[in-house]
Chain A
Amino acid sequence: MTGRKAYVRSMTGWWWRNPFFVRYMLRELTAPFVAVYAVILLVGLARLAQGEAAYNAWLATLRHPASILFHWLLFIAITYHAITLWKVMPKTMARLRLAGRALPEFTVTLCGWLATLTASVAFYVLVLRS
């Protein structure tokens, strides 16, 4: 049943017309922020290889208020990435079962959020103690 003069609608604007899709786009938009942070670290690594003076110049830039402010933006973005990644994680796995019953998908998400929290605390402690 191919329609004679069947009408095909345009997709333009699909992602801002439904709140679900807006949230999806915000989720995907965290990617450039992840990239920018990686580049910041990469520059730091390169400066580290170039010696103490070069590295300290990089460090001085990090201490600039504009950099601190920018890193708050990076922090919000990368935290949103973490939150949303664990929210979709159960969709990538077979349904978990405990004693014959299916566990809710949110169990996986909660474990993920806890894993991030644990890794964060562990990292913080490691940095302080070493």
Chain B
Amino acid sequence: MAEPRTIEMEVLRYHPERDFEPHFQSYRVPFTHDMSVLQGLQYIKDHLDGSLTFRWSCRMAVCGSCGHMVNGVPRLSCSTFLRDYLPGKVRLEPLNHFPIVRDLAIDQSDFLKKLEAIKPYLYPAEDKPVESGEYLQTPEQLERFYPFSQCINCLLCYSACPQYGLNPGFIGPGAMALLHRYNTDSRDAGRAERMEVVNAEEGVWSCTLVGYCSEVCPKGVNPANAVNQNKVTSALDYFLRFVMPRGGRR
């Protein structure tokens, strides 16, 4: 029987009860052609070091739990394959730009606050009773917001964004993508409610169109597009605000 191939996985460790600083720990992991980085982490936890902490859930790129830095690039561990890193090693770190809670687990609370701030729900134009029937939406109307609705809140874009890293006050790509998703949904009339967040210095104006967020997004959300389309919206709002009431018509 052939010896299983192994790969070195170098993982950042941090246990606040014993560590002042994070440090790398190496593990030699046997792997098959189809094994993901997540499966490698699970092997480590199951067979080599049960103390390793990391988040995961669906194993199929819909839950957004398993985001990590893999050799310096934000990736979903479940959709990243060990075979692609040969002949070198796989270096795993928690997602950039977030505080490390323990090992590979980060503190996402800042993003959750941002998410709440953009009002991620449909604002109806009027109070429609249930009897009046459902909203009708054409395929074209759906296409307008559909890509932005694919966000799984995985935070890879926040890890990719140097402006968020330099200033965590920045609303960030993911929250802006979701804001844009609601603004461009034909059923929504809440654009005016969301403009304050957009117009702030830490709204769209902290973005310098690095564009790495759209590059790393596993779902094709294109958050850079959401942010930068809203720069135009914000600028129009700024210059036309005395001519047109804030928000205006959609």
Q: State if A and B touch, Cβ cutoff 8 Å.
A: yes
- The yes or no answer to A63 lying at the interface (CB within 8 A) is no
Cβ of B21: which chain A residues have Cβ within 8 Å of it? 7
CB-nearest residue of chain B to A17 = B72
Of A5, A8, A93, the residue contacting B229 (CB under 8 A) is A93
> Could you say which interface size class chain A belongs to?
20 to 34
Q: Are B96 and A9 interface neighbours, CB within 8 A?
A: yes
Q: Are A92 and B231 interface neighbours, CB within 8 A?
A: yes
- Bound form: Cα–Cα A24–B100 in Å: 27
- The yes or no answer to B22 lying at the interface (CB within 8 A) is yes
Q: Which of A54-62, A65-73, A94-102, A115-123 makes up part of the contact surface?
A: A94-102
Q: Are B162 and A9 interface neighbours, CB within 8 A?
A: no
Q: Convert B33-44 into 0s and 1s, putting 1 for each residue whose CB lies closer than 8 angstroms to a CB of A.
A: 000000000000
Q: A11-B162, A92-B229, A93-B229 are in contact. Are A5 and B73 (CB under 8 A)?
A: no
- Bound form: Cα–Cα A69–B222 in Å: 41
Of B72, B96, B107, B231, the residue contacting A1 (CB under 8 A) is B107
- Bound form: Cα–Cα A40–B228 in Å: 32
Q: How far is the CB of B223 from chain A (nearest CB, A)?
A: 10
- The yes or no answer to A51 lying at the interface (CB within 8 A) is no
CB-nearest residue of chain B to A90 = B225
Cβ of A8: which chain B residues have Cβ within 8 Å of it? 99-100
Q: How far is the CB of B80 from chain A (nearest CB, A)?
A: 16
- Bound form: Cα–Cα A6–B101 in Å: 5
- The yes or no answer to B3 lying at the interface (CB within 8 A) is no
Q: A3-B16, A14-B165, A18-B73 are in contact. Are A88 and B107 (CB under 8 A)?
A: no
Q: A3-B16, A7-B16, A102-B143 are in contact. Are A21 and B210 (CB under 8 A)?
A: yes
Q: Are A4 and B16 interface neighbours, CB within 8 A?
A: yes
- The yes or no answer to B215 lying at the interface (CB within 8 A) is yes
- The yes or no answer to B2 lying at the interface (CB within 8 A) is no
Q: Convert B143-163 into 0s and 1s, putting 1 for each residue whose CB lies closer than 8 angstroms to a CB of A.
A: 100010000000000000010
- The yes or no answer to A2 lying at the interface (CB within 8 A) is yes
- The yes or no answer to B132 lying at the interface (CB within 8 A) is no
Q: Are B107 and A3 interface neighbours, CB within 8 A?
A: yes
Cβ of A75: which chain B residues have Cβ within 8 Å of it? none
- The yes or no answer to A80 lying at the interface (CB within 8 A) is no
- The yes or no answer to A15 lying at the interface (CB within 8 A) is yes
Q: Are A14 and B214 interface neighbours, CB within 8 A?
A: no
Cβ of A64: which chain B residues have Cβ within 8 Å of it? none
Mind listing 25 A-B residue pairs with CB under 8 Å?
A: A1-B108, A1-B109, A3-B107, A5-B16, A6-B16, A6-B99, A7-B14, A7-B16, A7-B21, A7-B22, A9-B97, A11-B165, A14-B165, A17-B72, A20-B210, A24-B210, A88-B211, A91-B211, A91-B214, A91-B222, A91-B228, A92-B231, A92-B232, A95-B147, A97-B143
Residues on B facing A (Cβ under 8 Å): 14, 16, 21-22, 72-73, 96-97, 99-102, 107-109, 140, 143, 147, 162, 165-166, 208-212, 214-215, 222, 224-225, 228-229, 231-232
